[in-house]
Amino acid sequence: MNDRFYPRRFMALLVKESLQILRDPSTMLIAFVLPLLLLFLFGYGVSLDTARTRIGLAVQDSSEAAASLAGAYRSSRWFEVQSRRDVTSLKDELIAGHIRGIVVIPSDFGQRVAAGIDAPIQVITDGSLPNTASFVAAYAEGVRATWAEGRALDRGVRLAPAIAPLPRFWFNPGLESRFALIPGSISIVMTMIGTLLTALVVAREWERGTLEALMATPVSMGEFLATKIIPYFVLGLGSMTLCVVVAVFLFGVPFRGSILALYAVGAAFLMPALGQGLLISAATKNQFVASQVALLTAFMPGLLLSGFLFEIGSMPKFIQGMTYAVPARYFIPPLTSVFVVGDLWPMFVRSILAMLGFGLLFFGLAFRVTRRRIA
């Protein structure tokens, strides 16, 4: 290898790598079929919404007030109610996981309401699922409070709470989790294409013995690495475009930003993804090992430590510090903003600079490792 650049030789290598991608069914599968499967999984199969939670309702009182409150729970859009007179059978359902909570209206509920004194109810939840348990407890109390206020108004008594919050949900009024899950899944798709596919490139050359033949040619190191990167860069942007079209037109995710911002943050994220994949492939020389290292060092951190599924602020301080070394952390917030908020260029510029910094680091290490291996 030498360091002289020849455009014709560069184009020949680029065409060769592009044709190799088109002839490889696994590459096209990962680039275009798996992204659609992931989008359908996160769009339809995964949801963080907690509407229509199954609960049990034990009505131990036959008074009009108890029947009215029971009707309020049955008509709530948050719960799917199973009614019983006995709590014991409902406890068995809770232990079996068929319901997520039990609301018990005690036998003296109607008498206490008629006497104008406090009439508590009991809410039993499944603590093995803390988020669902908190949801059931909070919304069960909310239904009771709404019912009590309505009953007081019917009697001409107005309950004036000390604080009357009026919540407003910006950018996602319906609180639909897919508005966050689908943009996050696009980052996982681009991680797979940028890191996983590129991790197999040089390793494949070593396994097939074609890298030794390239060493005997006057191809420069820059030409060699560039022709490995450019086709997958274009492939990554094409897959991102496909995912965005499906997200907007099939799943109804809003797109409030600009095309320029979308491709700017997408192209910036592909730099560390491609660089990391190239570094892995140069260091391993084996496709199986390269794929495993790519999954452990790129896919899993991108899924767990990027803020995609789990809020970074809720993680331990040590883990929060580790997230700064995950490039996907800097990609998901601007990508989500492009979809549901709009263009926020100050945040975009900071994220783009961070991702380009990771890209320069990975490309520098890949260049050095590849040259050492070939030498």
What's the CA gap between 184 and 43, in Å, rounded? 11
What's the CA gap between 206 and 76, in Å, rounded? 63
Question: What is the pLDDT averaged over residues 92-115?
Answer: 89
Maximum average pLDDT range among 20-29, 39-48, 272-281? 272-281
Matching residue, tokens 């019983």: 84
What's the CA gap between 179 and 174, in Å, rounded? 10
- Confidence class of residue 238 from pLDDT cuts 50, 70 and 90? very high
Q: 209 or 233: whose pLDDT is higher?
A: 233
Lowest mean pLDDT among 52-56, 129-133, 299-303: 129-133
Q: What structural domains does the chain harbor?
A: 7-46+176-374 (no CATH), 53-154 (3.40.1710.10)
* Share above pLDDT 70 across residues of the chain, in percent, rounded to a whole number: 93
Distance spanning both ends of the chain, measured CA to CA = 10
- Neighbouring CB atoms inside 10 A of 184's CB total 21
What's the CA gap between 281 and 293, in Å, rounded? 9
Tokens standing for residue 111: 């008498």
| Dihedral sign, Cα of residue 30, residue 36, residue 38, residue 39 | positive
- Confidence class of residue 105 from pLDDT cuts 50, 70 and 90? very high
Cβ-in-10-Å burial (0-12, 13-18, 19+) of 175 comes to exposed
List the one residue out of 234, 231, 217, 220 whose CA is nearest residue 7: 220
Cβ pair 293, 280 in contact under 8 A? yes
Per-residue pLDDT at 118: 82
Cβ pair 193, 236 in contact under 8 A? yes
pLDDT by residue (tens digit) across 49-79?
Answer: 666 789 999 999 889 989 999 999 999 888 9
Question: What is the pLDDT averaged over residues 143-171?
Answer: 72
Query: Quick check: 268 pLDDT over 70?
Result: yes
Which residues lie below 8 Å from residue 287, measured CB to CB, with a gap of 6+?
Answer: 200, 203, 204, 207
CA distances from 233 to 46, 222, 271, 276, 309 (A): 29, 16, 8, 13, 26
Cross-sheet strand order for the sheet of 79-84: 79-84, 53-59, 101-105, 122-125
Torsion, CA 55, CA 60, CA 64, CA 67, rounded to 10:
20
Question: What is the pLDDT averaged over residues 154-171?
Answer: 65
Residue 31 is given by DSSP the state: I
Q: 345 or 159: whose pLDDT is higher?
A: 345
Per-residue pLDDT at 25: 84
Give strand pairing partners of 83: 57
Per-residue pLDDT at 73: 93
CA distances from 11 to 118, 128, 217, 218 (A): 82, 59, 15, 14
Residue 108 is given by DSSP the state: T
Per-residue pLDDT at 129: 80
- Confidence class of residue 375 from pLDDT cuts 50, 70 and 90? low
Query: Quick check: 165 pLDDT over 70?
Result: no
What does the mean pLDDT of the chain come to?
A: 86
CA 368 to chain centre: 34
What's the CA gap between 292 and 300, in Å, rounded? 11
Which residues lie below 8 Å from residue 121, measured CB to CB, with a gap of 6+?
Answer: 69, 103, 104, 105, 106, 109, 140, 144
Per-residue pLDDT at 158: 57
Residue type, 326: V
What's the CA gap between 321 and 275, in Å, rounded? 22
pLDDT by residue (tens digit) across 12-40?
Answer: 888 888 888 888 888 888 888 888 988 88
Rounded to 5 degrees, what are φ and ψ at 311? -65, 125
Query: Quick check: 282 pLDDT over 80?
Result: yes
Per-residue pLDDT at 338: 95
SS3 101: strand
Question: What is the pLDDT averaged over residues 333-339?
Answer: 94
- Confidence class of residue 162 from pLDDT cuts 50, 70 and 90? low
Question: What is the pLDDT averaged over residues 253-275?
Answer: 95
Considering the entire predicted model, what is its pTM? 0.81
Cβ pair 243, 324 in contact under 8 A? no
CA 108 to chain centre: 47
Give strand pairing partners of 101: 125
CA 73 to chain centre: 32
Query: Quick check: 178 pLDDT over 90?
Result: no
